[in-house]
Amino acid sequence: MIPPKPPARPDKVSLWRYLKLFRQDLLSAQPARLYRAWMAEFRTPFFRSYLVNQPDLVDTVLKGRPDDFPKSNRISEGLRPLLGNSVFLTNGETWKRQRRIIDPAFEGGRLRDTFPAMWAASEAAVNRLAAQAGQETEIEEITSHAAADVIFRTLFSIPIEHEVAAQVFTRFRAYQRAQPLLNLAAFVPVPRWVPRFHSRQTRRNAAVIRGLIRQLTDTRMEEIRAGTAPDDLATKIMTTTDPQTGDRFDTSEMVDQVAIFFLAGHETSASALAWTLYLMALYPEWQEKLAEEARALDSPPDFSVMSKLRLSRDVFREALRLYPPVPMMVRETTCPEHFRDRDVPKGAQIVLSPWHLHRHERLWERPDDFDPGRWHTENGKICQRNAYMPFSAGPRVCTGAGFAMVEGPLILSMLLRRFRFERIAGRDPVPVAHLTVRAADGIWLRVLER
Ligand code: HEM
Protein backbone atom coordinates (compact mmCIF):
# COMPACT_ATOMS: atom_id res chain seq x y z
CA MET A 1 0.00 0.00 0.00
CA ILE A 2 1.30 3.47 -0.82
CA PRO A 3 0.74 6.38 1.56
CA PRO A 4 -2.29 8.56 0.76
CA LYS A 5 -1.90 10.93 -2.19
CA PRO A 6 -4.65 13.33 -3.22
CA PRO A 7 -6.37 12.61 -6.53
CA ALA A 8 -5.20 14.82 -9.40
CA ARG A 9 -7.67 16.74 -11.52
CA PRO A 10 -8.19 16.04 -15.24
CA ASP A 11 -5.65 17.70 -17.51
CA LYS A 12 -7.95 20.33 -18.98
CA VAL A 13 -10.58 22.14 -16.96
CA SER A 14 -12.17 25.57 -17.29
CA LEU A 15 -10.79 28.43 -15.25
CA TRP A 16 -14.04 28.50 -13.31
CA ARG A 17 -13.75 24.83 -12.41
CA TYR A 18 -10.07 25.29 -11.54
CA LEU A 19 -10.92 28.04 -9.08
CA LYS A 20 -13.62 25.91 -7.55
CA LEU A 21 -11.21 23.03 -7.12
CA PHE A 22 -8.69 25.46 -5.79
CA ARG A 23 -10.98 26.67 -3.07
CA GLN A 24 -11.35 23.09 -1.94
CA ASP A 25 -7.69 22.23 -1.95
CA LEU A 26 -4.48 23.40 -3.58
CA LEU A 27 -3.14 19.90 -4.11
CA SER A 28 -6.00 18.14 -5.85
CA ALA A 29 -6.54 21.23 -8.03
CA GLN A 30 -3.39 20.32 -9.96
CA PRO A 31 -3.16 17.91 -12.90
CA ALA A 32 -1.14 14.68 -12.70
CA ARG A 33 1.28 15.84 -15.40
CA LEU A 34 2.97 18.14 -12.86
CA TYR A 35 4.57 15.04 -11.35
CA ARG A 36 6.42 14.54 -14.65
CA ALA A 37 6.82 18.10 -16.00
CA TRP A 38 9.95 20.24 -15.71
CA MET A 39 7.93 23.38 -16.06
CA ALA A 40 4.27 24.32 -16.50
CA GLU A 41 2.45 27.53 -17.24
CA PHE A 42 -0.87 28.73 -15.83
CA ARG A 43 -2.50 31.54 -17.72
CA THR A 44 -5.13 33.58 -15.99
CA PRO A 45 -6.72 36.79 -17.26
CA PHE A 46 -4.50 39.01 -15.11
CA PHE A 47 -1.12 37.40 -14.70
CA ARG A 48 0.89 34.31 -15.44
CA SER A 49 2.19 31.67 -13.07
CA TYR A 50 4.95 29.22 -13.89
CA LEU A 51 5.53 26.12 -11.88
CA VAL A 52 9.22 25.24 -12.00
CA ASN A 53 10.22 21.66 -11.26
CA GLN A 54 13.57 21.42 -12.98
CA PRO A 55 16.35 21.22 -10.36
CA ASP A 56 18.77 23.66 -12.03
CA LEU A 57 16.01 26.24 -12.54
CA VAL A 58 14.91 25.87 -8.92
CA ASP A 59 18.53 26.50 -8.04
CA THR A 60 18.65 29.65 -10.16
CA VAL A 61 15.61 31.05 -8.36
CA LEU A 62 16.57 30.12 -4.79
CA LYS A 63 20.38 30.09 -4.85
CA GLY A 64 21.78 31.54 -8.08
CA ARG A 65 20.03 34.91 -8.29
CA PRO A 66 17.68 35.06 -5.29
CA ASP A 67 17.61 38.87 -5.29
CA ASP A 68 16.01 38.79 -8.75
CA PHE A 69 13.18 36.62 -7.41
CA PRO A 70 11.79 38.26 -4.27
CA LYS A 71 8.87 36.84 -2.38
CA SER A 72 5.61 37.59 -4.05
CA ASN A 73 3.40 40.01 -2.14
CA ARG A 74 0.35 38.09 -3.14
CA ILE A 75 0.97 35.30 -0.68
CA SER A 76 1.73 37.67 2.17
CA GLU A 77 -1.62 39.43 2.09
CA GLY A 78 -3.49 36.99 4.29
CA LEU A 79 -0.71 36.92 6.84
CA ARG A 80 0.20 40.57 7.09
CA PRO A 81 -2.28 41.54 9.85
CA LEU A 82 -0.65 38.92 12.05
CA LEU A 83 2.95 39.01 10.92
CA GLY A 84 3.51 42.69 10.11
CA ASN A 85 7.04 43.19 8.89
CA SER A 86 8.39 39.84 9.90
CA VAL A 87 11.32 38.14 8.20
CA PHE A 88 8.97 35.73 6.43
CA LEU A 89 7.37 38.55 4.44
CA THR A 90 10.07 41.18 3.89
CA ASN A 91 12.43 41.47 0.93
CA GLY A 92 15.64 43.26 0.00
CA GLU A 93 17.72 45.17 2.56
CA THR A 94 15.12 44.95 5.36
CA TRP A 95 15.06 41.17 5.05
CA LYS A 96 18.87 40.90 4.92
CA ARG A 97 19.22 42.99 8.06
CA GLN A 98 16.63 40.88 9.90
CA ARG A 99 18.40 37.64 8.95
CA ARG A 100 21.73 39.01 10.21
CA ILE A 101 20.16 39.47 13.65
CA ILE A 102 18.10 36.26 13.73
CA ASP A 103 20.49 33.71 12.22
CA PRO A 104 23.05 33.65 15.07
CA ALA A 105 20.30 32.47 17.45
CA PHE A 106 19.84 29.31 15.38
CA GLU A 107 23.47 28.37 14.84
CA GLY A 108 24.68 24.88 15.75
CA GLY A 109 25.99 25.73 19.20
CA ARG A 110 22.77 27.47 20.21
CA LEU A 111 20.80 24.45 19.06
CA ARG A 112 22.63 22.39 21.63
CA ASP A 113 21.61 24.94 24.28
CA THR A 114 17.93 24.62 23.38
CA PHE A 115 18.01 20.83 23.75
CA PRO A 116 16.94 20.68 27.43
CA ALA A 117 13.85 22.78 26.61
CA MET A 118 13.00 20.47 23.70
CA TRP A 119 13.46 17.47 25.94
CA ALA A 120 11.15 18.94 28.58
CA ALA A 121 8.51 19.64 25.93
CA SER A 122 8.79 16.05 24.65
CA GLU A 123 8.31 14.67 28.15
CA ALA A 124 5.31 16.90 28.66
CA ALA A 125 3.84 15.64 25.38
CA VAL A 126 4.30 12.04 26.50
CA ASN A 127 2.59 12.78 29.82
CA ARG A 128 -0.35 14.52 28.17
CA LEU A 129 -0.83 11.67 25.70
CA ALA A 130 -0.76 9.08 28.49
CA ALA A 131 -4.17 10.40 29.56
CA GLN A 132 -5.55 9.31 26.17
CA ALA A 133 -3.92 5.91 25.93
CA GLY A 134 -6.30 3.21 24.73
CA GLN A 135 -8.40 5.72 22.83
CA GLU A 136 -8.86 6.81 19.24
CA THR A 137 -7.09 10.14 19.15
CA GLU A 138 -6.80 13.04 16.73
CA ILE A 139 -3.05 13.31 16.32
CA GLU A 140 -2.67 16.76 14.74
CA GLU A 141 -4.12 18.20 17.94
CA ILE A 142 -1.49 16.38 19.96
CA THR A 143 1.44 17.40 17.75
CA SER A 144 0.27 21.04 17.52
CA HIS A 145 0.22 21.23 21.27
CA ALA A 146 3.67 19.66 21.52
CA ALA A 147 5.22 21.88 18.84
CA ALA A 148 3.73 25.04 20.33
CA ASP A 149 5.15 23.98 23.69
CA VAL A 150 8.61 23.58 22.12
CA ILE A 151 8.45 27.10 20.67
CA PHE A 152 7.41 28.76 23.94
CA ARG A 153 9.94 26.86 26.00
CA THR A 154 12.86 27.53 23.65
CA LEU A 155 11.94 31.11 22.84
CA PHE A 156 10.64 32.43 26.18
CA SER A 157 11.44 29.69 28.69
CA ILE A 158 7.73 29.18 29.44
CA PRO A 159 5.60 26.06 28.91
CA ILE A 160 2.39 26.06 26.88
CA GLU A 161 0.40 25.97 30.14
CA HIS A 162 1.63 29.52 30.85
CA GLU A 163 -1.42 31.77 30.71
CA VAL A 164 -0.19 34.01 27.87
CA ALA A 165 1.26 31.11 25.85
CA ALA A 166 -2.00 29.17 26.10
CA GLN A 167 -3.96 32.18 24.91
CA VAL A 168 -1.68 32.74 21.89
CA PHE A 169 -2.11 29.09 21.00
CA THR A 170 -5.92 29.19 21.14
CA ARG A 171 -6.27 32.54 19.42
CA PHE A 172 -3.96 31.44 16.68
CA ARG A 173 -6.24 28.56 15.81
CA ALA A 174 -9.16 30.91 15.44
CA TYR A 175 -7.03 33.07 13.13
CA GLN A 176 -6.21 30.03 11.05
CA ARG A 177 -9.85 29.13 10.65
CA ALA A 178 -10.78 32.59 9.49
CA GLN A 179 -7.78 33.04 7.19
CA PRO A 180 -6.87 29.72 5.62
CA LEU A 181 -4.95 28.79 2.46
CA LEU A 182 -1.62 30.51 2.46
CA ASN A 183 -1.10 30.08 -1.25
CA LEU A 184 -4.54 30.76 -2.58
CA ALA A 185 -3.91 34.42 -3.33
CA ALA A 186 -0.89 33.57 -5.43
CA PHE A 187 -2.96 31.77 -8.01
CA VAL A 188 -6.25 33.55 -7.95
CA PRO A 189 -6.56 35.96 -10.84
CA VAL A 190 -7.22 39.12 -8.89
CA PRO A 191 -5.42 42.14 -10.28
CA ARG A 192 -3.03 43.95 -8.01
CA TRP A 193 -5.11 47.13 -7.75
CA VAL A 194 -8.00 45.33 -6.04
CA PRO A 195 -7.72 46.14 -2.34
CA ARG A 196 -7.58 43.12 -0.03
CA PHE A 197 -10.03 43.04 2.79
CA HIS A 198 -9.48 41.14 5.95
CA SER A 199 -12.54 40.17 7.88
CA ARG A 200 -13.10 41.97 11.12
CA GLN A 201 -12.67 38.66 12.89
CA THR A 202 -9.24 38.17 11.30
CA ARG A 203 -8.06 41.62 12.26
CA ARG A 204 -9.37 41.28 15.78
CA ASN A 205 -7.65 37.96 16.31
CA ALA A 206 -4.41 39.28 14.86
CA ALA A 207 -4.54 42.28 17.20
CA VAL A 208 -5.17 40.10 20.24
CA ILE A 209 -2.32 37.71 19.37
CA ARG A 210 0.06 40.60 18.78
CA GLY A 211 -1.00 42.18 22.09
CA LEU A 212 -0.21 38.96 23.93
CA ILE A 213 3.17 38.63 22.23
CA ARG A 214 3.90 42.24 23.09
CA GLN A 215 3.36 41.44 26.77
CA LEU A 216 5.98 38.72 26.51
CA THR A 217 8.52 40.87 24.68
CA ASP A 218 7.98 43.90 26.95
CA THR A 219 8.54 41.78 30.02
CA ARG A 220 11.61 40.27 28.44
CA MET A 221 13.02 43.69 27.56
CA GLU A 222 12.70 44.71 31.22
CA GLU A 223 14.43 41.50 32.34
CA ILE A 224 17.25 42.11 29.87
CA ARG A 225 17.72 45.63 31.24
CA ALA A 226 17.65 44.33 34.81
CA GLY A 227 20.15 41.58 33.94
CA THR A 228 17.72 38.84 35.02
CA ALA A 229 16.72 37.48 31.58
CA PRO A 230 16.96 33.72 30.99
CA ASP A 231 19.42 32.63 28.30
CA ASP A 232 16.95 31.56 25.62
CA LEU A 233 16.24 32.38 21.97
CA ALA A 234 14.28 35.56 22.71
CA THR A 235 17.09 37.00 24.82
CA LYS A 236 19.63 36.04 22.20
CA ILE A 237 17.69 37.69 19.37
CA MET A 238 16.83 40.79 21.39
CA THR A 239 20.43 41.36 22.42
CA THR A 240 22.09 40.63 19.07
CA THR A 241 23.24 43.69 17.14
CA ASP A 242 23.43 43.78 13.38
CA PRO A 243 27.16 43.66 12.63
CA GLN A 244 26.69 46.10 9.73
CA THR A 245 24.53 48.79 11.31
CA GLY A 246 24.92 48.18 15.04
CA ASP A 247 21.10 48.17 15.39
CA ARG A 248 18.99 45.79 17.44
CA PHE A 249 15.33 44.92 16.98
CA ASP A 250 13.04 47.36 18.72
CA THR A 251 10.07 45.89 20.58
CA SER A 252 7.59 46.16 17.70
CA GLU A 253 9.97 44.53 15.24
CA MET A 254 10.54 41.78 17.78
CA VAL A 255 6.77 41.23 18.03
CA ASP A 256 6.72 40.64 14.25
CA GLN A 257 9.53 38.12 14.51
CA VAL A 258 8.04 36.26 17.47
CA ALA A 259 4.76 36.00 15.56
CA ILE A 260 6.52 34.29 12.67
CA PHE A 261 8.60 32.01 14.89
CA PHE A 262 5.42 30.90 16.51
CA LEU A 263 3.55 30.43 13.24
CA ALA A 264 6.35 28.97 11.09
CA GLY A 265 7.78 27.00 13.95
CA HIS A 266 4.74 25.20 15.27
CA GLU A 267 2.37 24.70 12.34
CA THR A 268 5.03 23.08 10.19
CA SER A 269 6.55 20.82 12.82
CA ALA A 270 3.09 19.79 13.99
CA SER A 271 2.09 18.81 10.46
CA ALA A 272 5.32 16.87 9.87
CA LEU A 273 5.07 14.99 13.16
CA ALA A 274 1.42 14.09 12.68
CA TRP A 275 2.11 12.63 9.21
CA THR A 276 5.13 10.78 10.53
CA LEU A 277 3.07 9.14 13.26
CA TYR A 278 0.44 8.16 10.72
CA LEU A 279 3.16 6.61 8.53
CA MET A 280 4.39 4.69 11.57
CA ALA A 281 0.91 3.27 12.02
CA LEU A 282 0.84 2.35 8.32
CA TYR A 283 4.25 0.65 8.46
CA PRO A 284 4.40 -1.08 11.87
CA GLU A 285 7.74 -2.73 11.05
CA TRP A 286 9.33 0.74 10.91
CA GLN A 287 7.49 1.74 14.05
CA GLU A 288 9.02 -1.19 15.91
CA LYS A 289 12.51 -0.36 14.65
CA LEU A 290 12.17 3.21 15.89
CA ALA A 291 10.79 2.10 19.25
CA GLU A 292 13.82 -0.15 19.63
CA GLU A 293 16.21 2.65 18.67
CA ALA A 294 14.45 5.00 21.10
CA ARG A 295 15.72 2.96 24.03
CA ALA A 296 18.86 5.06 23.66
CA LEU A 297 16.79 7.78 25.35
CA ASP A 298 16.78 5.81 28.62
CA SER A 299 20.02 7.49 29.65
CA PRO A 300 19.91 11.04 31.06
CA PRO A 301 19.00 13.64 28.43
CA ASP A 302 21.97 14.95 26.54
CA PHE A 303 22.27 16.43 23.08
CA SER A 304 24.68 13.68 22.05
CA VAL A 305 21.76 11.20 22.06
CA MET A 306 20.63 12.73 18.77
CA SER A 307 23.46 10.97 16.98
CA LYS A 308 21.88 7.66 18.02
CA LEU A 309 18.45 8.45 16.58
CA ARG A 310 19.49 7.73 12.99
CA LEU A 311 16.46 5.75 11.88
CA SER A 312 14.19 8.30 13.45
CA ARG A 313 15.88 10.99 11.34
CA ASP A 314 15.59 8.91 8.17
CA VAL A 315 11.90 8.34 8.83
CA PHE A 316 11.24 11.99 9.64
CA ARG A 317 13.10 13.03 6.49
CA GLU A 318 11.03 10.62 4.40
CA ALA A 319 7.82 11.97 5.94
CA LEU A 320 8.95 15.50 5.01
CA ARG A 321 9.46 14.26 1.46
CA LEU A 322 5.99 12.73 1.11
CA TYR A 323 4.15 15.40 3.09
CA PRO A 324 6.22 18.59 2.93
CA PRO A 325 4.48 20.92 5.42
CA VAL A 326 5.03 23.90 3.08
CA PRO A 327 3.80 22.38 -0.17
CA MET A 328 4.51 25.34 -2.46
CA MET A 329 6.40 28.64 -2.39
CA VAL A 330 5.90 31.63 -4.63
CA ARG A 331 8.40 34.16 -5.98
CA GLU A 332 8.04 36.96 -8.49
CA THR A 333 10.20 37.88 -11.49
CA THR A 334 11.70 41.39 -11.44
CA CYS A 335 13.00 41.24 -15.00
CA PRO A 336 12.12 39.20 -18.09
CA GLU A 337 13.51 35.66 -17.90
CA HIS A 338 14.01 32.86 -20.37
CA PHE A 339 13.32 29.50 -18.71
CA ARG A 340 13.63 26.37 -20.85
CA ASP A 341 12.00 27.39 -24.13
CA ARG A 342 9.72 29.99 -22.61
CA ASP A 343 9.85 33.73 -22.18
CA VAL A 344 8.74 34.57 -18.68
CA PRO A 345 7.63 38.19 -18.39
CA LYS A 346 8.51 40.58 -15.57
CA GLY A 347 6.01 40.39 -12.71
CA ALA A 348 5.17 36.73 -13.31
CA GLN A 349 4.64 34.35 -10.39
CA ILE A 350 7.19 31.56 -10.09
CA VAL A 351 5.78 28.65 -8.12
CA LEU A 352 8.25 26.24 -6.55
CA SER A 353 6.58 23.09 -5.39
CA PRO A 354 8.27 20.83 -2.86
CA TRP A 355 5.11 18.75 -3.14
CA HIS A 356 5.67 17.95 -6.81
CA LEU A 357 9.47 17.98 -6.78
CA HIS A 358 9.54 15.44 -3.94
CA ARG A 359 7.38 13.04 -5.93
CA HIS A 360 8.80 13.77 -9.35
CA GLU A 361 8.53 10.64 -11.47
CA ARG A 362 11.60 11.38 -13.57
CA LEU A 363 13.84 12.00 -10.58
CA TRP A 364 12.89 9.67 -7.74
CA GLU A 365 12.78 5.90 -7.75
CA ARG A 366 9.33 4.75 -6.61
CA PRO A 367 8.40 8.35 -5.78
CA ASP A 368 5.13 7.58 -3.98
CA ASP A 369 6.48 4.75 -1.80
CA PHE A 370 7.42 5.22 1.84
CA ASP A 371 11.02 4.05 2.08
CA PRO A 372 13.24 5.65 4.74
CA GLY A 373 16.08 3.41 3.50
CA ARG A 374 16.21 5.39 0.25
CA TRP A 375 18.49 8.05 1.82
CA HIS A 376 21.31 5.49 1.74
CA THR A 377 20.87 4.60 -1.94
CA GLU A 378 22.56 6.31 -4.87
CA ASN A 379 19.28 7.70 -6.18
CA GLY A 380 18.23 8.88 -2.71
CA LYS A 381 21.52 10.71 -2.18
CA ILE A 382 21.36 12.45 -5.56
CA CYS A 383 17.73 13.42 -5.07
CA GLN A 384 18.41 14.70 -1.55
CA ARG A 385 20.83 17.18 -3.10
CA ASN A 386 18.80 18.10 -6.20
CA ALA A 387 15.16 17.44 -5.63
CA TYR A 388 14.49 17.76 -1.89
CA MET A 389 13.64 21.09 -0.30
CA PRO A 390 11.19 20.80 2.60
CA PHE A 391 12.95 23.81 4.17
CA SER A 392 13.49 25.66 0.88
CA ALA A 393 17.12 26.44 -0.03
CA GLY A 394 19.61 29.23 -0.57
CA PRO A 395 19.88 32.36 1.59
CA ARG A 396 16.14 32.31 2.32
CA VAL A 397 16.21 28.76 3.65
CA CYS A 398 14.12 28.14 6.76
CA THR A 399 15.96 29.54 9.78
CA GLY A 400 14.53 26.71 11.87
CA ALA A 401 15.67 23.81 9.64
CA GLY A 402 18.34 22.55 12.04
CA PHE A 403 16.02 23.13 14.97
CA ALA A 404 13.21 21.16 13.31
CA MET A 405 15.54 18.26 12.47
CA VAL A 406 16.31 17.89 16.19
CA GLU A 407 12.83 18.56 17.49
CA GLY A 408 11.06 16.20 15.04
CA PRO A 409 13.11 13.02 15.54
CA LEU A 410 13.34 13.66 19.29
CA ILE A 411 9.58 14.00 19.89
CA LEU A 412 8.93 11.10 17.51
CA SER A 413 11.31 8.82 19.38
CA MET A 414 10.03 9.90 22.80
CA LEU A 415 6.45 9.11 21.77
CA LEU A 416 7.33 5.76 20.18
CA ARG A 417 9.36 4.69 23.19
CA ARG A 418 6.22 4.85 25.30
CA PHE A 419 3.28 4.30 22.92
CA ARG A 420 2.20 2.24 19.96
CA PHE A 421 0.15 3.95 17.26
CA GLU A 422 -2.38 1.93 15.27
CA ARG A 423 -4.30 2.68 12.14
CA ILE A 424 -8.07 2.86 12.40
CA ALA A 425 -9.72 1.06 9.48
CA GLY A 426 -11.67 3.40 7.24
CA ARG A 427 -10.16 6.55 8.73
CA ASP A 428 -7.05 7.04 6.62
CA PRO A 429 -6.27 10.75 6.23
CA VAL A 430 -6.48 12.60 2.92
CA PRO A 431 -3.85 15.32 2.52
CA VAL A 432 -5.04 18.84 1.72
CA ALA A 433 -3.06 22.06 1.70
CA HIS A 434 -4.23 24.61 4.23
CA LEU A 435 -1.64 26.88 5.74
CA THR A 436 0.42 23.70 5.79
CA VAL A 437 -0.28 20.20 4.47
CA ARG A 438 -2.93 18.78 6.76
CA ALA A 439 -5.44 15.96 6.67
CA ALA A 440 -8.95 16.81 5.50
CA ASP A 441 -10.59 15.39 8.64
CA GLY A 442 -7.63 15.19 10.96
CA ILE A 443 -5.32 12.23 11.51
CA TRP A 444 -6.99 9.65 13.70
CA LEU A 445 -4.97 6.88 15.32
CA ARG A 446 -5.41 4.49 18.22
CA VAL A 447 -2.83 5.14 20.90
CA LEU A 448 -1.72 2.24 23.11
CA GLU A 449 0.78 2.07 25.93
CA ARG A 450 3.66 -0.26 25.08
C1 HEM B 1 9.34 20.67 9.90
C2 HEM B 1 9.40 21.93 10.24
C3 HEM B 1 9.58 23.10 9.29
C4 HEM B 1 9.43 23.15 7.92
C5 HEM B 1 9.06 22.03 6.96
C6 HEM B 1 9.72 24.53 7.52
C7 HEM B 1 9.70 24.97 6.21
C8 HEM B 1 9.99 26.27 5.81
C9 HEM B 1 10.01 26.72 4.44
C10 HEM B 1 9.74 25.86 3.21
C11 HEM B 1 10.33 28.03 4.46
C12 HEM B 1 10.47 28.95 3.24
C13 HEM B 1 9.15 29.54 2.84
C14 HEM B 1 9.25 30.41 1.60
O15 HEM B 1 10.33 30.74 1.16
O16 HEM B 1 8.19 30.79 1.09
C17 HEM B 1 10.50 28.41 5.83
C18 HEM B 1 10.82 29.68 6.26
C19 HEM B 1 10.96 30.04 7.58
N20 HEM B 1 10.90 29.20 8.68
FE21 HEM B 1 10.57 27.22 8.64
N22 HEM B 1 10.00 25.26 8.64
C23 HEM B 1 9.94 24.43 9.74
C24 HEM B 1 10.20 24.77 11.06
C25 HEM B 1 10.58 26.02 11.48
C26 HEM B 1 10.92 26.37 12.84
C27 HEM B 1 10.96 25.38 14.00
C28 HEM B 1 11.18 27.72 12.85
C29 HEM B 1 11.59 28.62 13.99
C30 HEM B 1 11.71 28.30 15.22
C31 HEM B 1 11.01 28.21 11.50
C32 HEM B 1 11.17 29.51 11.10
C33 HEM B 1 11.13 29.96 9.80
C34 HEM B 1 11.34 31.34 9.42
C35 HEM B 1 11.64 32.50 10.36
C36 HEM B 1 11.24 31.41 8.01
C37 HEM B 1 11.40 32.63 7.11
C38 HEM B 1 12.80 32.69 6.56
C39 HEM B 1 13.00 33.78 5.53
O40 HEM B 1 12.08 34.06 4.75
O41 HEM B 1 14.11 34.34 5.50
N42 HEM B 1 10.65 27.16 10.70
N43 HEM B 1 10.29 27.32 6.65
pLDDT of residue 13: 66
76 lines ligand 1 (CB under 6 A): no
Residues 339-370 pLDDT 10s? 998 999 998 889 899 999 999 999 999 999 99
Distance 398 CA to ligand 1 centre (A): 4
Query: Mean pLDDT throughout 93-107?
Result: 94
Distance 393 CA to ligand 1 centre (A): 10
pLDDT of residue 195: 46
Contacts of 91 (CB under 8 A, 6+ apart): 70, 71
Best substitution site from 79, 398, 435 to test ligand 1's pocket, by max atoms within 8 Å of Cβ? 398
Does 4 have pLDDT greater than 90? Answer: no
Please list, residue by residue across 317-346, b when 16 or more beta carbons sit within 10 angstroms of its beta carbon and e when fewer do. bbbbbbbbbbbbbbbbbeeebebeeeebee
Domains of the chain: 15-449 (1.10.630.10)
Does 101 have pLDDT greater than 90? Answer: yes
pTM (2 decimals)?
Answer: 0.93
Q: Which residues pair with 31 in a beta bridge?
A: 9
Distance 401 CA to ligand 1 centre (A): 7
Residue type, 101: I
118 or 110, which is more confident: 118
Mean pLDDT, rounded, of the chain: 88
89 lines ligand 1 (CB under 6 A): no
Count of CB atoms situated within 10 Å of the CB of 212 = 20
409 lines ligand 1 (CB under 6 A): no
Distance 16 CA to ligand 1 centre (A): 33
Nearest CA to ligand 1 atom 14: 329
Distance 271 CA to ligand 1 centre (A): 13
Residue ranges for the binding site for heme? 398
Residues 179-189 pLDDT 10s? 544 444 444 44
98 lines ligand 1 (CB under 6 A): no
129 burial (CB, 10 Å; 0-12 / 13-18 / 19+) is buried
